[in-house]
Structure 1
Amino acid sequence: MASPPWRANGIVAEEVGFTAAKAELLRLTRMSCYAALATSSLDGMPQVAPLRYTVTNDFELVMGTLRTSRKYANLETNDRVAVVIWDDEMSIQIEGRFDEPDPTDEQRLRTHFANELPREAQLRTERPTHFFFRITPTWARCSDFSDEPPRVLTLDFIAQTETRGTFPVLTDGRQRPGL
């Protein structure tokens, strides 16, 4: 069975530095269009929703939803979110902030989404209560289990730092020193 496209292009450990790591994570994030978005209700109840997404060159995750959805109500009361993107051998965790763009910026995001996912964008624009929003990352971690030892890339978008290492648990369950 052939591996998903990003399997052939897992974490590359040669380049270091925040800018190179951000570009690497951006490349990996673009290899999928499916994510789980976690939000929190007003009373603190966690809620998760599957969504399709695109990502801009500025690392804005672009998503869409109905203004009548639970996630929209959650986003309006608490802008902190978590996003997970994964397949059998790699996972990307992103923590960030929701932003409802002004009409001009929403049109830019809508155009970006339509260029990347035209059929999905068409379905979403047929609903007048649908709008596009962005998630701006504050922290991200990519765990690549395709190699032994599994590799980890962590980015702090606020401090603009990156950390690379190996996953602390071996595939046989023993603890690995490190992270």
Structure 2
Amino acid sequence: MSNAHARDRLHLFCGEDYREEAINVDANPDVDPDLVLDLTDYPWTPFEDDSVTYIEARHGLEHLADPTAFFEECARVLRSGGTLEITVPLGVNARMDNDHETKWTYETPEQYSAPDRRPWDPEVPFELVDRNVRTWLGGPLAPLTPLFQAAARRWPAWAAARCYGGELTAVYRRVEQ
């Protein structure tokens, strides 16, 4: 791999949002990523076990039919204590694209957090350490978006369930099991 791949941060589903400090990965070669890779083809052979400290995945996970496999692969390549930050759409943004395989709610990140795991949730070695929502209103209510965003800071789960559009960001830490 080139010097660009010596970095220990991954920016998955990078699209045209190129990050100098990371290895930018996308399945689409037209966006000129550092690495063209189908992120549904496991294992991600360019990356060794415990080889990165940070993974960011923005607006890609909702397109995957098997999010558990994605979390398992992130756990494989992340070092213990490493960070996984995912961002997924909420509200109409989550429902409008017919290629979205999964829909996320404010509570969904807990399914991938060892301390919050229910007996039927996947066993992945992550702990949810932060979660926030960015929301907005549409149509005639759009002018009330700043007020709605203030409410979202105070009551994020309530706002996430009622927003017109928005996104959820969940931050996980890789833990030992």
TM range (shorter): under 0.3
Provide TM-score, normalisation by structure 1: 0.26
Provide TM-score, normalisation by structure 2: 0.26
Q: Report which of the two has the higher share of helix.
A: 2
Q: Report which of the two has the higher share of strand.
A: 1
